[in-house]
């Protein structure tokens, strides 16, 4: 390296030092910054500063050089030792290129934006300040490993111009060392290699290892994970066979009566409506007017029954008289809904809730009002909502190892593309379910579902993936229960780490308060909470910038959930929810994408399954 013989750099006191003196009597890592104000270099300096103790213990000296003045170098003094090179002579000797268009690529720009948002604030005046040469501060960076001995340069590495350093690539060098004695290297821009004294194949192997996703090295062979899933599947099947007769309300000696609905035929629904209409007519003709005796669906009339592990509705009713100013409108809406359902029974056709709303928009005013009365009518008649031939629009989707018939047509859910098969709104027409899956994966959100579907996660680990894309709809809840009961498969849930994710999980498992009267048909027993759980945020080292602060409403919702009996029944849920409220942090499933878009399917879920990490 004779080209470095005459090169000097300057310490923070302004003293000129021959660059080769930096490693004359010691092993040294000399890192060359792109320019002093660069947020990428600030990130690099932060990283190096955190590893300086390790390097000191290994007898390795760390030196950073930047293309600027001594005053500019002092900016970094608090982080690590820095040398200034006002004339860029060391950069010229090593043939580092320069220029903003050469070194500042679009990828680097995106990285700057990312780091800026993380809190690294760039000093723009310093960044673009002209120094002792006319080119400005834009230089290609690099690294030298040298010493002891002036001419003992064992490693030269120039940073590529078009890639950003993967932090796990840096960690590889920190953890495994280099050339036996170096225990830490720096990185900011991913290197594509102008390296002396390194074999090309070995270099590629090191880079591949460094690019590994975090915790991926903890994964066992897929065959080992598959065996765990087979054991889980067999256990679930055995449990289902043992308790073939499900416990019902009639089996319990509760101190109060409850109201539950069942599937009724169209003729039975029609007869019930006609009988109700006749009783109303008699009441009107007798001069008493009329009113509906509607089951109360208020929170005070609902109860969680631990033996059933679901919410039930007590048998308390409230009068809804027509001749009352506070209830006249709702009585009118109830009458109209009954009339429309009677027409559906006569014609034997199905409509959506939206169709029902648009039959009388001026009366209903808002679909939430017609939907609420529809539930009231279902409860009054003692039948499930699907018995009324009113369905919700298709929302949920399913993909994976499942074949079923839909109104006579056989559907193979492995051949439905990335979007999967829409769950039919008429579940009574779904039958003949067949599957070689080992479990059902219930996913809260469409984004996570799409990731798993595109990666064909169900081929690596045989499963059925289902989502309602947020709040569970009736069809998806019915479909999930049907799969669980017919296929006898365990159900694992993947939801956001926030109070609403847990509420969604509880709706699938214990039922919703709005439809507590039909919880026997809509709930799926023994759903296991796989993730994302509050404890996972630290366990998987989710970065702070990917976590969200909980709002006051979030915290209130979390505390309210802690008071629910269905949460108290599960100590693991209590522990996780308490941690969430304490840390006041939440995170979405997509926070895992910070490690890579496929981290969810390639590492997180396989590791969760391997560790049997579910509640």
pLDDT one-digit tens code per residue, 304-340: 999 899 999 998 999 999 888 889 999 999 999 999 9
| pLDDT tens-digit readout, 465-506 | 999 999 999 999 999 999 999 999 999 999 999 999 999 999
**Residue 194 main-chain phi, psi, to 5 deg:** -115, 90
496 has binding-site annotation: yes
Residue 44: pLDDT over 90: no
Top-level CATH class of 2-212? alpha beta
Mean pLDDT confidence for 30-42? 66
Mean pLDDT confidence for 402-409? 94
What pLDDT does 244 receive? 56
Residue 162: pLDDT over 60: no
Is 358 noted as a catalytic residue in this protein? yes
Residue 353: pLDDT over 50: yes
Considering the chain, what percentage of its residues have pLDDT values greater than 70?
A: 77
Output the DSSP codes for 314-379. ES-EEEEESSSTTTHHHHHHHHHHHHHHHHHHHHT--EEHHHHHHTSHHHH-SHHHHHHHHHHHHH
Q: Given 2.60.120.260, 1.20.120.10, 1.10.8.60, 1.10.10.10, which CATH number is that of 258-391?
A: 1.10.10.10
What pLDDT does 295 receive? 92
Instruction: State whether residue 438 is helix, strand or coil.
Output: coil
Where in the sequence of the chain do the CATH 1.10.10.10 domains occur? Answer: 258-391
Task: Give how far Cα 44 sits from Cα of 14, 96, 141, 189, 545, Å.
Answer: 23, 18, 11, 9, 18
What pLDDT does 27 receive? 85
Output the DSSP codes for 91-149. HHHTT--B-HHHH--HHHHHHHHHHHHHT----HHHHH---SSTT-S-B--EEEEE-SS
What pLDDT does 106 receive? 57
Considering the chain, what percentage of its residues have pLDDT values greater than 90?
A: 53
Residue 158: pLDDT over 70: yes
Q: Is the peptide bond before 351 cis (omega within 30 degrees of 0)?
A: no
What pLDDT does 113 receive? 54
Mean pLDDT confidence for 560-564? 95
Higher-confidence residue: 40 or 453?
453
Residue 39: pLDDT over 60: no
DSSP annotation of 470: S
Give the least confident one: 33-37, 119-123, 580-584: 119-123
Residue 2: pLDDT over 70: no
* Residue showing tokens 């910038």: 545
* CATH fold for the domain made of 397-610: Dna Topoisomerase Vi A Subunit; Chain: A, domain 2 (3.40.1360)
Reading across the β-sheet that carries 302-305, which strands appear in turn? 258-259, 310-314, 302-305
Where in the sequence of the chain do the CATH 3.40.1360.10 domains occur? Answer: 397-610
Where in the sequence of the chain do the CATH 3.40.30.10 domains occur? Answer: 2-212
Between CA 119 and CA 133 the distance in angstroms is 31
Mean pLDDT confidence for 170-193? 35
Q: How many CA atoms lie within 13 A of 518 on its CB side?
A: 26
DSSP-H helix ranges across 215-322: 222-242, 266-285
Across 147-257, where does the E strand assignment appear?
153-158
Higher-confidence residue: 111 or 231?
231
What pLDDT does 1 receive? 57
Mean pLDDT confidence for 230-253? 80
Residue 82 C-alpha from the chain's centroid: 41
Question: Catalytic: which of 358, 449, 458, 517?
Answer: 358
Count of residues for the chain? 615
What pLDDT does 242 receive? 64
What pLDDT does 169 receive? 40
Instruction: State whether residue 517 is helix, strand or coil.
Output: helix
Residue 155: pLDDT over 90: no
What pLDDT does 329 receive? 92
536 has binding-site annotation: no
Averaged confidence pLDDT in the chain: 81
Q: Is the peptide bond before 532 cis (omega within 30 degrees of 0)?
A: yes
Between CA 312 and CA 310 the distance in angstroms is 6
Higher-confidence residue: 606 or 36?
606
Mean pLDDT confidence for 418-430? 91
Residue 229: pLDDT over 90: yes
pTM over cut 0.85: no
């Amino acid at each position: 390296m004779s080209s470095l013989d005459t090169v000097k750099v300057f310490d923070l006191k302004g003293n000129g030092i021959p660059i080769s003196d930096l490693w004359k009597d010691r092993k040294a890592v000399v890192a060359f910054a792109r320019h002093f104000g660069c947020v990428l270099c600030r990130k690099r300096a932060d990283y190096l500063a955190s590893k300086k103790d390790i390097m000191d213990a290994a007898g390795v000296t760390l030196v950073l050089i930047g293309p600027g003045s001594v005053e500019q170098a002092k900016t970094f003094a608090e982080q690590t030792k820095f040398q200034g090179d006002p004339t860029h002579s060391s950069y010229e000797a090593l043939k580092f290129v320069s220029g903003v268009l050469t070194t500042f690529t679009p990828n680097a720009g995106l990285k700057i934006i990312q780091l800026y948002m993380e809190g690294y604030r760039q000093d723009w005046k310093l960044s673009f300040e002209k120094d002792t040469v006319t080119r400005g501060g834009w230089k290609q960076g690099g690294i030298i490993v040298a010493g002891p001995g002036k001419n003992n340069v064992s490693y030269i590495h120039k940073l590529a111009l078009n890639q950003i350093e993967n932090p796990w690539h840096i960690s590889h060098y920190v953890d495994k060392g280099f050339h036996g004695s170096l225990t830490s290297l720096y990185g900011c821009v991913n290197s594509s290699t102008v390296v002396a004294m390194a074999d090309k194949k070995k270099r590629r192997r090191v880079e591949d290892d460094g690019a590994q996703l975090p915790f991926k090295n903890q994964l066992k062979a897929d065959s080992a994970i598959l065996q765990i899933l087979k054991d889980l599947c067999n256990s679930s099947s055995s449990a289902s066979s043992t308790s073939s007769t499900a416990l019902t309300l009639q089996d319990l000696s509760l101190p109060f009566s409850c109201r539950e609905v069942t599937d009724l035929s169209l003729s039975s629904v029609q007869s019930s409506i006609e009988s109700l209409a006749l009783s109303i007519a008699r009441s009107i003709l007798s001069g008493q007017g009329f009113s509906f005796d509607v089951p109360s669906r208020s929170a005070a009339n609902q109860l969680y029954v631990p033996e059933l592990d679901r919410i039930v509705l007590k048998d308390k009713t409230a009068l809804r008289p027509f001749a009352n100013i506070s209830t006249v409108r709702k009585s009118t809406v109830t009458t109209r809904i009954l009339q429309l359902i009677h027409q559906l029974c006569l014609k034997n056709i199905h409509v959506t809730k939206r169709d029902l709303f648009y039959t009388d928009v001026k009366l209903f005013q808002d679909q939430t009002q017609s939907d609420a009365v529809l539930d009231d009518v279902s409860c009054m008649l003692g039948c499930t909502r699907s018995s009324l031939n009113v369905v919700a629009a298709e929302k949920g989707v399913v993909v994976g190892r499942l074949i079923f018939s839909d109104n006579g047509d056989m559907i193979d859910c492995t051949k439905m593309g990335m979007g999967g098969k829409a769950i039919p709104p008429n579940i009574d027409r779904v039958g003949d379910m067949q599957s070689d899956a080992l479990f059902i994966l219930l996913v809260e959100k469409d984004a996570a579902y799409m990731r798993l579907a595109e990666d064909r996660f169900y081929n690596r680990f045989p499963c059925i993936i289902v989502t309602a894309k947020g709040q569970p709809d009736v069809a998806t809840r019915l479909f999930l229960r049907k799969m669980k009961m017919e296929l006898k498969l365990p159900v694992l849930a993947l939801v956001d780490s926030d109070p609403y994710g847990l509420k969604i999980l509880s709706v699938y498992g214990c039922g919703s308060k709005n439809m507590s009267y039909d919880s026997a048909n809509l709930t799926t027993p023994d759903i296991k909470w796989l993730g994302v759980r509050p404890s996972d945020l630290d366990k998987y080292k989710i970065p702070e910038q990917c976590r969200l602060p909980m709002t006051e409403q979030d915290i209130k919702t979390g505390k309210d959930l802690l008071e629910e009996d269905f949460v108290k029944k599960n100590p693991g849920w209590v522990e996780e929810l308490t941690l969430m409220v304490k840390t006041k942090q939440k995170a979405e499933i997509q926070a895992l994408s910070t490690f890579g878009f496929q981290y969810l399917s390639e590492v997180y879920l396989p590791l969760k399954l391997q560790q049997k990490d579910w509640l």
